[in-house]
Amino acid sequence: MAEQELRIEPGRKVELSEYDPGCTRWFKDKADGEERLAEDVARIAEMQYTMWAENKHALLVVLQGMDTSGKDGVVRHVFSGVNPQGVRVISFKKPSENEADHDFLWRIHAAVPARGEIGVFNRSHYEDVLITRVHGWITPEVCEARCGQINMFEKVLRNGHLTILKFFLHISKEEQRERLESRLSDPKKNWKFQPGDLEERKLWKEYMKAYEYALSTCSTAHSPWHIIPSDKKWARNALVARVVRETMEGMKLKWPRVKIDLEKVKVPD
């Protein structure tokens, strides 16, 4: 089970230097990874249709990672092919004034997927303990308190029909350099370039620390974090798809039985 291998056990103190972002040991080679991705995506699409019909379960996928780590890429490669009627992708940006006037989980709760849906958060409430902490906009005490609030909030969500999967897309600093440079040189990637990304890159060490704290504190039994080695895009996509597939298979999704005696029903002229 890839899910178990990639999952951070509750209470574990994560040191990211112990995790190799280039690891591909689950696959023979790239072709093997791509083949398994295609299989898993087809299976996810199939199961999502049953999930939609059954209208019982919901799945929330949280994607976090440094700039260029591949959050958009995961959305595109893992969830294209799934019926968009049952998938909702929410990209969280800088809070609006109105959002900022509420607690930081307010806009998050509003975006949680409904029964039958897969919700994908491209960035999430975790930004409120990452970028905010790295830039000193909140104190370590507030950060700690927020992580406690996140754990309680996620437990509230988890007590219903919702399953939560959180993925940290782990890339190396060297790989980020290459990807940023290709945004500068490739005309089809220019649009992704934002000068602010270079400033954030200078804070790499501080970000790794903030991630280590969040991953260590907020990987719970009810809402686990997974560390996805993401230097190889194909491995990253295949691993996320595999964990999603395994998790959905665990839901034992079924075509719903209708409570009407259909044999007695007659379609009128």
Residue 81, interface with a copy of itself (CB under 8 A)? Answer: yes
Among 75, 235, 240, 241, binds a copy of itself (CB under 8 A): 75
Residue 89, interface with a copy of itself (CB under 8 A)? Answer: yes
Three-state DSSP state, 251: coil
Q: Closer to a copy of itself at the Cβ: 88 or 222?
A: 88
The answer to whether the beta carbons of residues 256 and 53 sit under 8 Å apart is yes
d(CA 244, CA 145): 30
Q: Closer to a copy of itself at the Cβ: 8 or 61?
A: 61
What's the CA angle centered on 194, arms 189 and 200, to 5 degrees? 125
DSSP-assigned letter for residue 9:
P
Nearest to 21 by CA among 254, 188, 211, 183: 211
If one counts every other C-beta atom within 10 angstroms of the C-beta of residue 123, the result is: 17
Three-state DSSP state, 89: strand
Which residues lie below 8 Å from residue 70, measured CB to CB, with a gap of 6+? 169, 171, 230, 233, 236, 237
User: Which of 123-131, 163-171, 197-205, 215-223 is the region at the interface with a copy of itself (rule: CB under 8 A)?
Assistant: 197-205
Residue 94, interface with a copy of itself (CB under 8 A)? Answer: no
Give the per-residue contact string, 207-236, with a copy of itself (x = CB under 8 A; - = no).
------------------------------
Q: How far is the CB of 119 from a copy of itself (least distance, A)?
A: 11
Q: Closer to a copy of itself at the Cβ: 32 or 127?
A: 127
Residue 196, interface with a copy of itself (CB under 8 A)? Answer: no
Q: Which residues bind a copy of itself (CB under 8 A)?
A: 45, 49, 53-54, 72, 75-76, 79-85, 87-89, 91, 120, 122, 177, 180-181, 184-185, 187-188, 190-193, 195, 198, 201-202, 255-258, 260, 262-263, 265, 267-268
